[in-house]
Amino acid sequence: MNPTAEKAIAAYGGKELWSKAKRIEAEVSVHGWAFTLKGRPFFERAIITMEISHPFSRLSPIGTIPTVWRTG
């Protein structure tokens, strides 16, 4: 592991903590041109949960208009 990564891991709980962790969670607000172009609603204070062992994330809730997210 490179020295920068080692410092970051040490600063945020250490290697032992991160080796035991299964996921991380954060509160996010998202808006911008990409959402406008895709016709997606902006959202504030949504919770994103990300798995550490593999690339997977879940964002909830997403918007207030459920029909925006339907594709069929």
Show me where the domains of the chain are located.
Answer: 22-72
43 close to 37: Cβ distance less than 8 angstroms: no
- Rounded to two decimals, the pTM is 0.58
Strands, sheet with 57-60, edge to edge from the N-terminal-most edge strand: 23-30, 43-51, 57-60
pLDDT of residue 22: 93
Q: What is the pLDDT of residue 11?
A: 96
Whole-angstrom CA distances from 59 to 7, 8, 43 are: 29, 25, 10
What's the pLDDT at 63?
56
3-state secondary structure (DSSP) of residue 58: strand
Read off the pLDDT of residues 47-69 as tens digits, 9 standing for 90 and up.
899 998 888 988 887 655 544 44
pLDDT (mean) for 13-33: 90
Q: Is pLDDT larger for residue 70 or for residue 43?
A: 43
